[in-house]
Amino acid sequence: MKSETSTQHQKASSKEITCGVITLSDSRKSKKADLSGEYISNEIESRYTLNGRSLIPDEKDDLINAIEDMISDDIDVILTTGGTGLDSRDITVETVESLFEKKLDGFGEIFRMKSYEEIGSAALLSRATAGIYKKSIIFSMPGSPNAVKTALNIIIDELPHFVHHVKK
């Protein structure tokens, strides 16, 4: 299913990428209770370099500061989990999309398609998004462990390929 060009780009991409994880939650108070952040961290560490992990409340300024801190630490890929729902406190999508220089529409579209296959029409509530900001890629996904697994299955193998293009 992969194209020849895509395969060539993947081979030319370095696996030496750094990632950071940000969990947004008003209810989880410790990283130990953050199952989704833990899952993402473990998956990243098995393939790439995890260079930061934060647990912050659902606050716009806290999210922007966490992103800026990771970018100043030269993190290539920032993965956020939580804060993507429809509650009034869910600010992730609006916050990150206001930063994007380029949006990667395909991530949210494919995520919702895969979610629909798994959970049916409740997938309409899934506001996953992705984009580029200051030569870093930000993927924002819902906070449930199952949603995180679905999202990582879509992107984890392609991260070096994404970074290769973004850093050009």
Q: Can you list the domains of the chain with their CATH numbers?
A: 35-166 (3.40.980.10)
Alpha carbon 81 to chain centroid distance? 7
pLDDT level of residue 8 (50, 70, 90 thresholds):
low
Residue of 105, 57, 47, 56 whose CA lies nearest to 77? 47
| Cα gap 162→102, rounded to integer Å | 13
CB 153, CB 125: distance < 8 Å:
no
Please give the average per-residue pLDDT across 24-29, as a whole number.
79
Quote the pTM value. Answer: 0.93
Please check the confidence at residue 167 and state whether its pLDDT lies above 80: yes
| Cα gap 112→123, rounded to integer Å | 6
| Cα gap 123→30, rounded to integer Å | 28
- Encode pLDDT of 58-89 as tens digits: 999 999 999 999 999 999 999 999 999 999 99
CB 96, CB 34: distance < 8 Å:
no
